[in-house]
């Protein structure tokens, strides 16, 4: 840990300024990285063209036809790269595209996870069609293929450009580069691309149980989410869990004129706002009794990593125009180690030019609850339902009929989405340590370490029975509008990822002392 | 007053069971009403056909082309009935269609007001197109013109079927009936049809100031809103005022992944819910200090009318599936005599299948504040802005730029719509009394009196300098989905209105003792 902490302490954010002394030769990594860069510089047009085709495929997991087209496209492209592909399927779920590239000799096995499905889109909000990728540099749209080399600061706008088709494209291009360079892999490589991550991976565990060998690996790298806000590559050792909820409360059985009935007909918007406010204050504190009881304290190692994680709060506040963040002065890194109630949407009646003078019949809020170790979705669900009942609400799980509405002054319909727990790997595990060292060599500079990112990724599934280390290794730019409209990928992030993946899979196994010998 | 209160005390809701003894012969009214009914029975197909044409014209006041087409259609139809029409105009506002039908001899002058514009529509919510009227009886759609007489319980579904094109059609048909019967008018009749009522009549006062004689009358009858929930005809002596507000609060400058930033980036939904909850509890009580200070107590006469107003709360609660109304046990009639904060819409992020795991950049609520005498829009606006500022919000009236957002932790953009005050006429005024007596004769039974309805209608404008009595005289069914989707008019309400208007304008001037002589 000492080498890494020294490197981080003197590194300037955003500048890769150090080569790392280590227990084995670094020269091959540096040379290989340069060669992969030259390969990329010579093939930018083709790389982007292949990526744009992938981004043109709508990929919301609820559309079976769309999602199948994505899976088959990825399958064909992997097979074209000599990867042995299996489609792991269960009924009613998008397939997991699972590929293996075995290497002669005893090598460590690394698995790389990404997902090919995307968040829903509200096309009206986008400046360009979510599935009609465009390239923008300096505010101007650039025609694809119009130049041989693109401005690395230009961005491709499309749903899943960053989240999470970018790693899929990057690893495939990295394999192309290694083949072109005749550089052998130093690992057995497993690729596992999920099609339902943005739905909270409701079937991933079950799918993997249909083919248990898929999970066998010495380490799993989970490529999802953004790199550090300083634009440096980062790893994360954990994630928050998540459980989603749609909550609807009710007023009168039909919409009423707000003049004739205002003050008498219950206004479901006000029932909802008071219920939300009973759950969470405006400063992120959760008001549900005992909600924090299950939160596991940080270990000493985790506290050390947290203390070293570069702070970017001031820059972020400026960039995001946040005068005062939530959290009473805690840093972003500290705040994502706590559970969170996020109200991601609220909707009732109309606003703006569509506003009409009525009292709505119902009001709906949509939540994503963020969990941390050792909270479980089941326990959180129970605590929230008990809290809502204590606020005087009858809890329904189906739409209440008139008889039920006549019988109860307050009814909350709760529709729970799938959820899964948080995860945090052991930072002290020697495999975790060796992987991190190899990664710093692969990128040729210090890599930011993060105890846990705030996002939810089903890392817990990959731990398996053998407590395999599962490490987050994202590649997208942090300012990618992930999950929102105008999602984008900065091209330099794709270029960095190609070099990183290529160098890593060609060097990770070199340090024999660090890896369990199979 | 004693005759009416006796009549009401023994009347069963919904049943017209009494003939009213009065100071002058009632026979002409009864006979005339029967003749008008026969006329209507012979012409239902044509009446409905003309009404359907009017309802086919989209009529949101912000669409100048649409609204002008409505005004011209009404103008032509009035002129066809020998009404002398002037279009009262100012730049940038829909015209007021103003018509006069003068009668020989000294007669009282009565004005009848209605409006031809409608609320905005969200066509996706409607079962039939808002401007493609359909007739439905017993759950089945009936082709217009397929029968000579329609089921009086059938309903026409279309925007403005009840609010507020129904009175316009009814008065025109009443004039047709009188002409056919060769029955002369007993009044000088003024018709004043506004095109911007659903926008809160922002130009009505100014338009009428361009032609002051339009307002000269002995009494104004304001035909807007629904009849009593018991289906009996009613008058109202007052209305609430209104002022509208769009309120937007802000989070980060771009949408953020709720996992990566949840607990740190301010969630504007939570800022908004806490702000709303500081203004109003879930039980209708307004929490803004001094908000009730300007509320004028009821006079003894008003208290008497309130005590006699038939209660329909139990039936309404059943029909609307309201287990417990707002207001701590107060009746609907009592509750609409108080000011109200109605949140008519709230919108941020997405819910349901469109829900995405983001923290929104802003959240918006839309309000209609309901005022009572002697509150004024200006004072209410000031009280609300002061309250919001006390909650720590910087108040903006334009969209804040990044510099402003970096400078203030909480910003509320307030966009005030036009507003106007409440109104309540003098119930003790002899003209008010005489009009009420004539109306009961015209309908042949007791008419419900209401101190003030909860809706906002610009009655205050019609009072003029001479404190002319202004009386609300609605005709639509109460269950008309006014302002919402599937707005409808029950045909029997149209039939009743035709008889009422026809009989009233042919008999109102008969009681010479009651009217000021010109």
The enclosing domain of B19 has a CATH number of 3.40.630.10
What is the phi/psi pair of residue A242, to 5°? -155, 150
B266 and A354: CB-CB below 8 Å? Answer: no
**Is residue A470 domain-shared with residue A358, that is, in the same domain?**
no
Residues in chain A: 518
Q: How far apart are CA B497 and CA B516, in angstroms?
A: 26
In a domain, A262, yes or no: yes
| pLDDT recorded at residue A466 | 85
Phi-psi map region of B503: left, alpha, beta (phi>0 left; psi -120 to 50 alpha): alpha
Closest CA to B456 of B345, B377, B343, B353: B377
Q: What is the pLDDT of residue A3?
A: 28
Spatial distance between the Cα atoms of B443 and B369, rounded to a whole number of angstroms = 35
Task: Flag whether A320 is in a domain.
Answer: no
Nearest CA in chain B to A327: B264
Clarify whether residues A139 and A45 are in a common domain: yes
Same domain, A149 and A291: no
Residues A103 and A7 in one domain: yes
Say yes or no for a CB contact (<8 Å) between A364 and B370: no
- In chain A, residues with a C-beta closer than 8 Å to the C-beta of B227 are none
CA–CA separation, A100 and A192 (whole Å): 9
Planar angle of CA B65, B68, B70, nearest 5 degrees: 115
- The pLDDT, as a whole number, for residue B230 is 86
Q: What is the pLDDT of residues A281-324, one digit of tens each?
A: 999 999 999 999 999 999 999 999 999 999 889 999 999 999 99
Angle between helices B64-80 and B165-181 (to 10 degrees): 10
C-alpha distance from B76 to closest chain A C-alpha (Å): 30
B141 and B25, same domain (yes or no): yes
Neighbours of B454 (CB within 10 A): 27
The pLDDT of residue B466: 85
Q: What is the C-alpha to C-alpha distance for residues B12 and B1, in angstroms, rounded to an integer?
A: 19
Residue A354 lies in a domain: yes
**C-beta atoms surrounding B16 within 10 Å:** 16
Q: Is A159 exposed, middle or buried (0-12, 13-18, 19+ CB in 10 A)?
A: buried
| Same-domain status, B374 and B452 | no
CB contact under 8 Å between A324 and B409, yes or no, is yes
Nearest-by-CA chain B residue for A452: B260
Q: Is residue B308 part of a domain?
A: no
Q: Which helix (H) or strand (E) holds B248?
A: strand B238-250
Same domain, B359 and B337: yes
* Mean pLDDT per 10-residue interval, chain B, length 518 residues: 30 34 54 97 97 98 97 98 97 97 86 97 94 95 93 97 98 98 94 94 93 94 92 95 97 94 97 98 96 96 94 93 96 96 97 93 98 96 98 98 98 94 95 95 95 91 92 96 91 98 92 67
Set of chain B residues whose Cβ sits within 8 Å of the Cβ of A345: 269, 348-351, 354-355, 360
Q: What is the pLDDT of residue B229?
A: 82
pLDDT at res. B26: 37
**DSSP single-letter state for residue B187:** S
Question: What is the DSSP-derived secondary structure letter of residue B91?
Answer: T
Residue B347 inside a domain? The answer is yes
Least Cα distance to B63 among B119, B114, B115 occurs for B119
Domain finish residue from A420, A439, A474: A420
In-domain check, residue B30: yes
The reply to whether residue B257 touches residue A317, judged by beta carbons under 8 angstroms, is no
Indicate whether A97 belongs to any domain. yes
Which among B324, B368, B406 is the nearest to A357, CB-wise? B368
Q: Residue B403: helix, strand or coil by DSSP?
A: helix
Domain range for A290 is 240-295+338-420
Number of domains in chain B: 2
Domain final position from B370, B392, B420: B420
A201 shares a domain with A110: yes
**Cα–Cα dist B391/B279, whole Å:** 10
Give the end of a domain, one of A405, A420, A435: A420
Q: Establish if A319 belongs to a structural domain.
A: no
**Low-confidence spans in chain A with pLDDT less than 70:** 1-27, 106, 516-518
Q: What is the ipTM of this complex?
A: 0.81
Residue B484 pLDDT: 85
- Whether residue A205 is found in the same domain as residue A74: yes
- Same domain flag for A16 and A101: yes
CATH number, residue A260: 3.30.70.360
Quick one: A84 and A196 in the same domain? Answer: yes
Same domain, A212 and A126: yes
Inter-residue contact B484 to B120 (CB < 8 Å): no
Cross-chain CB nearest to B325 (options A254, A266, A324): A266
């Amino acid at each position: 840990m000492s080498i890494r902490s020294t490197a981080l302490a003197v590194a300037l954010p955003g500048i890769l300024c150090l080569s790392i002394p280590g227990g084995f030769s670094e020269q091959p990594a540096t040379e290989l990285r340069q060669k992969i860069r030259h390969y990329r510089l010579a093939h930018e047009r083709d790389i982007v063209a292949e990526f744009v085709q992938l981004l043109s495929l709508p990929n919301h997991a609820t559309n079976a036809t769309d999602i199948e087209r994505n899976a088959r496209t990825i399958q064909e492209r992997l097979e074209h790269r000599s990867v042995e592909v299996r489609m792991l399927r269960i009924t009613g779920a998008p397939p997991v595209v699972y590929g293996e590239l075995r290497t002669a000799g005893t090598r460590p096995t690394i698995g790389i996870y990404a997902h090919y499905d995307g968040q829903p889109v509200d096309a009206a909000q986008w400046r360009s069609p979510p599935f009609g990728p465009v390239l923008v540099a300096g505010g101007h749209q650039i025609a694809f293929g119009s130049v041989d080399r693109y401005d690395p600061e230009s961005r491709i706008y499309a749903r899943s450009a960053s989240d999470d088709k970018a790693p899929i494209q990057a690893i495939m291009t990295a394999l192309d580069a290694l083949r072109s360079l005749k550089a052998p892999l130093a690992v057995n490589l497993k690729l596992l691309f999920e099609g339902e991550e943005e739905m909270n991976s409701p079937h991933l565990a079950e799918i993997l149980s249909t083919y248990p060998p898929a999970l066998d690996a010495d380490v799993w790298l989970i490529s999802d989410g953004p790199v550090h806000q300083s634009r440096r590559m980062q790893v994360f050792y954990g994630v928050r869990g998540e459980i989603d909820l749609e909550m609807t409360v009710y007023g009168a059985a039909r919409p009423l004129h707000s003049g004739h009935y205002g003050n008498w007909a219950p206004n479901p918007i006000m029932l909802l706002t008071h219920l939300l406010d009973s759950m969470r204050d405006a400063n992120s504190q959760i008001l549900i009794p005992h909600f924090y009881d299950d939160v596991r304290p940080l270990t000493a190692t985790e506290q050390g990593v947290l203390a070293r994680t570069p702070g970017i709060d001031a820059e972020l506040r400026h960039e995001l125009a946040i005068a005062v963040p939530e959290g009473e002065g805690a840093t972003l890194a500290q705040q994502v180690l706590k559970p969170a109630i996020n109200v991601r949407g609220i909707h009732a009646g109309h606003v703006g030019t569509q506003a009409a003078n009525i009292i709505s019949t119902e009001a709906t809020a949509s939540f994503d609850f963020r969990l941390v170790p050792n909270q479980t979705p089941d326990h959180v669900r129970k605590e929230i339902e008990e809290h809502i009942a204590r606020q005087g609400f009858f809890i329904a799980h189906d739409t209440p009929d008139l008889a039920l509405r006549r019988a109860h002054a307050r009814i909350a319909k709760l529709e729970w989405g799938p959820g899964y727990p948080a995860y945090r790997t052991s930072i002290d595990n020697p495999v975790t340590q060796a992987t991190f060292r190899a990664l710093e060599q692969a990128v040729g500079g210090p890599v930011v370490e993060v105890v846990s990112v705030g996002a939810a990724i089903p890392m817990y599934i990959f731990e398996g029975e053998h407590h395999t280390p599962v490490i987050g290794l994202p590649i997208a730019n942090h300012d990618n509008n992930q999950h929102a409209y105008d999602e984008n990928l900065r091209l330099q992030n794709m270029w960095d990822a190609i070099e990183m993946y290529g160098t890593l899979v060609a060097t990770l196994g070199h340090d024999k002392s660090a890896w369990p010998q199979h």
